[in-house]
Amino acid sequence: MKRNKIIDLINLESPKKNILIKGWVKTKRDSKTFSFIELNDGSCLKNIQIIVNDNYVDYSKIRKLKTGSALEVTGNMVASQGSRQKWEIQALTIEIIGSSEDSFPLQKKRHSDEYLRTIAHLRPRTNKYGSLFRIRSEVSWAVHKFFKDRGFWYIHTPVITSSDCEGAGELFRVTTLSDPLPMKEDKKIDYSKDFFGKESNLTVSGQLSAEMFALSLGNVYTFGPTFRAENSNTSRHIAEFWMIEPEMAFCNLNENMDLGEELIKNIVSFSLEYCSDDINLFSNFVDKQLIFSLDKIIYNDFIRIPYEEAVDILIKSKEAFTFKIVHGLDLQSEHERYLSEKVFNKPVIIYNYPKGIKPFYMRLNEDNETVAAMDIIVPRIGELIGGSQREERLDILEKNMEFLGLSKDHYWWYLDSRKYGSVPHSGFGLGFERLLMLITGITNIRDVIPFPRTPGSIDF
């Protein structure tokens, strides 16, 4: 007998006989002559009710079933007597595939997110996190579809690299060296004895590699894990996260901003259409204004303002920010959220940042003071996208690297791309977990990734 998924059964117009389902017990209640089992198989948010009467041959075992047990059930679908579901199943046979102990930590009550992080291996069995990770799966597919529909090529960029794209030095080292470590005369570790013959680390971005492919294949993107060894315990930072990074040849900053806005609107719209049941859970129990907020993103143009204007607005606001707002300094999350939530009440694209606060690869503007950079800021989250037009002029790129003390020998391959048919090109990075926070209303980034990696936490 072929297994049926609950998502397929609950949407049937007429009942089926002799069906087979497999899943986990969410709850169970007993009357004098019946047991009512709520079963879920992960295919959707909804459970299906199994009814077992006391004539069942092993009814005593059914009475002892614990929440979390895994069952294989055959039976007949009938119209439900309750109002919460259309169909229920009258059981013919029930096999206990995996019993559950009394200590199963998920019971029929609300558990805090902090508690559920301590049992991250079990939290997908809750309604909230089951819904979240179904949304994550669907949105991942939607990202690929977005770029496929627009003629982009998907590139798998390296996870292990010798380059620090952002230049911040927040890197996880990758090494096969063991004690005693080989040392040079200057008492520094001799990485020439390591596996790759030089220092290597987990990637902070696939951008530099993706640029090489944009300069041959046109429009490309990479979507994969990235790593930052940033000792931060905020609700917006984790050490391992996923990035969506398109790179486009013959593309300027305005076109780059257009694509970023289009991508956000497309994914939000997709989520509301294809993940409606799961999104509604978050709208009902996490953020009552969620649907309204997402609709505003879809149906409104994003505000676009230069960095200087954004700073002027913040200074004139007289708001008591924790971080002082000064021309020439980078904007903090509180500044970004103030602009998107209090001033404009919609997403904001800030562009043309001072060159001194941005990485070496961003294109220098004609004023020689700013670079063609852009950040897309959204309410509740702050920065969702960071990108720029890339510096395609070899001489200026080399001067940027010299100013920042970067080795041209180390980036020889990157500089090569500016020697052989260099063209204007642009790209950006979108933090996938922050996108999921936007879509679900979840406020802590640790709760939108299966197993969060944070300072001092490497369980699971």
Segment among 221-230, 300-309, 402-411 with least mean pLDDT? 402-411
pLDDT(312) > 90:
yes
Which residues have C-beta within 8 Å of that of residue 159, sequence separation ≥ 6? 202, 203, 224, 225
Looking at domain 6-98, its CATH class is: mainly beta
pLDDT(177) > 90:
yes
The percentage of the chain sitting over the pLDDT mark of 90, rounded to a whole number, equals 90
Residue 153 and residue 172 in contact, taking contact as beta carbons nearer than 8 Å: no
User: Average pLDDT in the 188-216 region?
Assistant: 95
Token look-up 């970004």 returns 336
In the CATH hierarchy, which fold is given to the domain comprising 123-168+204-447?
BirA Bifunctional Protein; domain 2 (3.30.930)
The pLDDT, as a whole number, for residue 107 is 83
Q: Please state whether the peptide bond connecting residue 180 to the residue before it is cis, i.e. omega within 30 degrees of 0.
A: yes
The percentage of the chain sitting over the pLDDT mark of 70, rounded to a whole number, equals 99
User: Average pLDDT in the 274-298 region?
Assistant: 97
Q: Report residue 10 as tokens.
A: 């609950």
Residue 49 and residue 27 in contact, taking contact as beta carbons nearer than 8 Å: no
pLDDT(167) > 70:
no
Look up the pTM and report it.
0.95
The pLDDT, as a whole number, for residue 169 is 65
- How large is the angle between the packed helices 276-285 and 253-274, nearest 10 degrees? 90
User: Other C-beta atoms within 10 Å of 398: how many?
Assistant: 17
Segment among 1-10, 156-165, 261-270 with least mean pLDDT? 156-165
The pLDDT, as a whole number, for residue 37 is 96
User: Other C-beta atoms within 10 Å of 251: how many?
Assistant: 22
pLDDT(411) > 70:
yes
Mean pLDDT of the chain: 95
User: Average pLDDT in the 209-233 region?
Assistant: 95
User: Average pLDDT in the 149-170 region?
Assistant: 87
The pLDDT, as a whole number, for residue 233 is 84
pLDDT band for position 404 (cuts 50, 70, 90): confident
- C-alpha separations of 381 from 22, 167, 199, 368 in Å: 39, 24, 35, 31
Alpha-carbon gap, residue 164 to 204, rounded angstroms: 7
Residue 253 and residue 388 in contact, taking contact as beta carbons nearer than 8 Å: yes
pLDDT band for position 369 (cuts 50, 70, 90): very high
Q: Which residue has the higher pLDDT, 406 or 39?
A: 39
Domain ranges of the chain: 6-98, 123-168+204-447
The pLDDT, as a whole number, for residue 185 is 92
User: Average pLDDT in the 190-208 region?
Assistant: 95
Alpha-carbon gap, residue 282 to 267, rounded angstroms: 17
Which helix (H) or strand (E) covers residue 451, if one does? none
Segment among 100-114, 303-317, 348-362, 434-448 with least mean pLDDT? 100-114
pLDDT band for position 1 (cuts 50, 70, 90): confident
pLDDT(81) > 90:
no
241: Cα separation from own chain's centroid: 7
Which residues have C-beta within 8 Å of that of residue 260, sequence separation ≥ 6? 349, 374, 376, 385, 387, 428, 430
Buried b (16+ CB within 10 A) or exposed e, 399-425: ebbeeeebeeeebeebbebbeeebebb
The pLDDT, as a whole number, for residue 163 is 82
Token look-up 């627009």 returns 150
Which residues have C-beta within 8 Å of that of residue 458, sequence separation ≥ 6? none
Contacts 24+ apart (CB under 8 A), 398-405: 400/360, 400/361, 400/364, 401/360, 403/360, 404/167, 404/360
pLDDT(264) > 70:
yes
pLDDT band for position 168 (cuts 50, 70, 90): low
The pLDDT, as a whole number, for residue 420 is 97
User: Average pLDDT in the 124-150 region?
Assistant: 98
pLDDT band for position 109 (cuts 50, 70, 90): confident
pLDDT(61) > 70:
yes
Alpha-carbon gap, residue 260 to 266, rounded angstroms: 10
Which helix (H) or strand (E) covers residue 305, if one does? strand 303-306
